[in-house]
Amino acid sequence: MRFTRLYSTLPRPNLDVKSILANYSRYHDSIIKRELSPTILHNLESLKENRTEELKVNSELNKLKHERNTLSKTMNKDNKESIIQLLTEFKVKIKGLEDKLSVLSEENFQKAESLPNLIDESVKPTEDVVEYLNYNGEDTLETTEYDHKVIGEKKGIMDFNSGAKVSGNSWYYLIGDGAMLEQALINYTLQMTREKGYKMVIPPTIVRNEIINGCGFKPNDQNNEQQIYEISNSDLSLIGTSEIPLAGLHVNSNINYKSLPVKYVGLSRAFRAEAGARGKDTKGLYRVHEFTKVELFHFTKPENSAEELEEIAELQKKIINNLGLKAKVINIPYNDLGSPAFKKYDIEAWMPGRQAWGELTSTSNCTDYQSRRLTIKYTDEMKKHHYLHTLNGTAMAIPRVIVAIIEQFYDPITDKISIPKVLQPFMGKEFI
């Protein structure tokens, strides 16, 4: 039987099968609530059966080894020939059990590796609006015929036709004040995050596939459509978010508890192969193949991760609130959680031209899902090693925020886009 090697240069992840089976009903609920493939549910069910068999074979193997060792001690010049014959028989039996145990262990590892994280008790089956920003949640939201693409092309600050000629659909140019607006959003966000103690990182945008896998990102989504750009004839891919290389920054390492929490803000380009794949949101900047993203990432103690998820969400709310954008904060429902997420918040802004809410940020507590797969631990006061909890959050997904700013702040009478006050020092003007 052959298995796909998910990890080649990293240590083999230490997946706690004992804990998984002790929490069998919770994992079962997590798979059902996330609406994952029946294959995943089957993996959990067969893991339970296989683990019992694995322990039985392991017990038999240990018994045989003990009997062999005991027998070898009885060997002398008078019984040497018969003992060697018996030891040879033991060797054959032991090899057979070792091979069987190896297959069972690999099967159980791959089944455990496929399982999603558990789900926090506060997560609900439907969208749970936690808070509104710059909006009371009741007034009628305006719509307009002037979407960001119409406005942006009219003002010459974005060019989709040239992007399509050069790179293909869902690529674009930001020009002049469009490019300046992106840079202003980057500078504003980095200023906000550094004030909160985040260390800035510019990570690589090409990473090993095993790092991507360890973070819980799959090459294809639930509809079997490509999500990640893989580089031909290599084990490398382009990142969809700097969450991946930020998680990898401490791969296969042990962090002293006195350093925790470790908080990074990463600035990078991000690449999404699935943009517009299902014919949805293919117009303009909302869903594109390449964009600039500022990402937050925490390594922390397990007992602090729930609190730090709220901390990240508060920072995200402040960033969006200061821009003056009408938005809502959502506790994401079961079936919208990715496999690594224990709990997740999104912020969505109203986009009058799209006549819909659109996601600007998300933040997730991944507990020890990623750290176990990437072998990231910390040492406590008693010199014991534990797996860290990891959290990630969008500080700024540039194109989405540009969409919201243009569509919320464009005045068709004056033909001007009001620049949020917090961005004006970086733009050097009040209007586009």
The Cα-based distances of 144 to 122, 152, 338, 351 in angstroms read 36, 14, 33, 9
What are the sequence ranges of the domains in the chain? 17-33+37-113, 128-427
Across all residues in the chain, what is the average pLDDT?
A: 92
User: 245: burial class by Cβ within 10 Å (0-12, 13-18, 19+)?
Assistant: buried
| CATH superfamily, with its number, for domain 128-427 | Bira Bifunctional Protein; Domain 2 (3.30.930.10)
Q: Which residues pair with 397 in a beta bridge?
A: 293
- pLDDT one-digit tens code per residue, 167-226: 999 999 999 999 999 999 999 999 999 999 999 999 999 999 999 999 998 765 555 567
Output the pLDDT for position 13.
87
Q: Which residue ranges in the chain fall short of pLDDT 50?
A: 1-5
Output the pLDDT for position 71.
83
- The rounded distance, in Å, linking the Cα atoms of 370 and 322 is 32
Output the pLDDT for position 191.
97
- The rounded distance, in Å, linking the Cα atoms of 51 and 24 is 13
Please list the alpha-helical segments (H only) found in 198-355.
209-214, 243-248, 305-322
The helix (H) or strand (E) run that includes residue 345 is strand 343-351
Q: Which residues pair with 133 in a beta bridge?
A: 327
Output the pLDDT for position 224.
56
- Token duo for residue 411: 């005045």
Question: Rg of the Cα trace of the chain?
Answer: 27
User: Model pTM greater than 0.85?
Assistant: yes
- pLDDT one-digit tens code per residue, 400-431: 999 999 999 999 999 999 999 999 999 999 99
